[in-house]
Structure 1
Amino acid sequence: MKKNLVIKLFLISLITNSCFGQNDSKFSINGKTKNLVNGTILLLQNPLSNKFIDSVKVLDNTFVFNTQLTYFPAKLILWRDGSTAKTIWVENKNMTFDSSNSNFENAIINGSITDRLATSLKSKYKELKSYEEIVAFELEFIKNNPNNIISAHNLSIMAKAFGHEESEKLFNKFSIKNRQSQYGKIISDYLDLNITKTPQIGEKYVDFSMNNQNGIQKQLSELDGKYVLLEFWASWCLPCREENPELVKVYNKYIESNFEIFAVSLDENKENWIKAIKKDNLNWKHVSDLEGTNNKASLIYAVNGIPDNILIDKNGIIIARNLRSKKLDELLYELIFKKAYTIKKEKNGTTLRLSESIVWKDENGKILTKLEVEKMLDTKKYIPNLDTEKNIMVLKKKD
């Protein structure tokens, strides 16, 4: 899964632009297209802020952008419609866009040295056959090109794959402009977290705290003892919003069965975030630091695209990642509703074996750790009472 995420990012990468030199504040793109109806609107987006910075109408399959921008080179996205786009590294000069003999997303860009290099690298990525080859190639490129803005862009994505130590070495060799770019800020924020290794499946989750939509600080560890879906999303993420109705169904199905969702939003606009929560009827836990794709939790868990999620079991162990609603439903059913016990007949008698998924509680409903259970049983003052329907073992004090 991680391999596919990284490959996708490099082949399609719709993330971020850069803070670079400020010599001239305007660029132009003269474009040629094919088979577009007169009046078709093309939108130019700054993907780091998720804002559209300009738009034009197509006339006779031609268009012209004359757009103000305060930094160059900058990575922008030219949208033809909601599913078709061309990523362009713009420079403060006259450029051309030509899709008259190709698909819109494969248009030829002239006039930008940075875009030419990015296109060349993209072709190279397609030749690589494994995730390991991509990592090795990317590492070598960044080492050899510390002053190139594409190196800063690529390290902002790959830092989590390289790890803290290697990324810090690469970052320290960057030019001042690269370190001060918006990509440099993303890398710097990641390094400041001092997370030496992204938590993997089979490992303990990494705790963090963040404000909810009401400004109250919430901590992931507050949900210890539950099955928790750590969900990464945003109000502006169309696939996230499309998935939400199905996720609501899963949530409602398991909310009474020791399950909770802790949703981290990669929004920057608080109003849009809150509106999306209400509109989609998302009645679970929500937090955000309103730092967009530079969200602290997304850096900890190496989130390279959304929607993404991590399923944590009641013992705090990561057991799955990037589950869509159907797979999540199947896994939760297995974890929560599988038989609480098995009875095995042996020569010396009958053995009752409890499932690992069973939840131990005291008489007040507090979830008990394994150590607490052992201590209570050792006192011989408590009797275990099994509720097979709820998959709960309650330790009741002897009369």
Structure 2
Amino acid sequence: MKYPLSIITLLSLCLGLTLLSCESKETENDGKVELSGKVESAPEGHVILSKFTESRPIVLDTLKLNSDGGFDYVLDVETPTFYELNLFDQRSVRLALFKEDVQVNYDFSNSESLAITGSRDSQEMQKIDGLITSYQNKVNELNEAYYQAMSSNDTEAIKKIQTDALLLEDNQAKEVKNVINGMGDSFASLAAIGLLNSKNEFQFLDSLVAELDKKYPETKMIIQLKQQLDEMRVLSMGQVAPEITLPNPEGQMVNLSDFRGKYVMIDFWAGWCKPCREENPNVLRLYNKYKDKGFEVLGVSLDRTRKAWVDAIFEDGLIWPQVSDLKYFNSIAAETYQINAIPATYLIDPDGKIIGKDLRGPSLESKLEEIFE
């Protein structure tokens, strides 16, 4: 089940900090990058340098500080790579390194003193970290309000929080894309990809990765992203939606293509899915409003039993076509449409092309108003 506030999926790069800038020092493209800086008023402990791999960060070394807190370390950096400096388990600094040396300075007596210079990619990274921190704080606030509303069974508050969460996600996507667009060809933008819904932002991500691939060919993380995007391409905006052929509750086979000529929302749901059931009244209201103008819904249930499925249809008063093979997430339709959480929706135009994804609540209403009014 997809809970209403499960909206943020970060890369394995952990939360970072907003940094300032000072002087810089460039290096030749010899595969070596110098990491230097100074830590003042340091507590007991260590400065630990880690490197992010495709699965997890790995510790590279513990940096030695001289008598005045200065440090200097040379890294072998053959391709664009993300690193993290752990300052005495109290501050964390993410770095995006390739070709350029970088300097990191921090005074523990002043929490605002953190400064990073030299590496343009590392400086761009700080803009992303600022977005991540701000967004996570807002999500935490919504989470707290959501659990309070759940505890008091305040259904109106729950609905408002769900709406606020969807609006937050939409606004965050706009901010992230604006920041990425302002980065030019910096590979630091890869750290922001996890902040975007890849289904909704496929074309933006596809274009971004293609441009980065031109500047950083044969970079492993870019190659992996290209492969993932290729797998998603069949379900990207503008593509003809894959056929669905499944039985309705009476056992008659129904095809998605039977509804060509109409705008069709494929609604992946289940009787056991509480957020799906909570959204059903909204879909029913919009269905009644636009069905005579060419709007149709095709419900695809991921229930396990016919009784649970049919009971939910009856209880919620659903009047649009329903199909299911009663195979839970192993449903052929769920596999075809890469569904791993519900509710999930695809909006199809009269030519069968995908024009919207995961629309519900105010986003669904707004899209239908755009089409029919």
How would you bin the TM-score normalised by the shorter chain? 0.3 to 0.5
Structure with a larger share of its residues in helix: 2
Larger strand proportion of the pair = 1
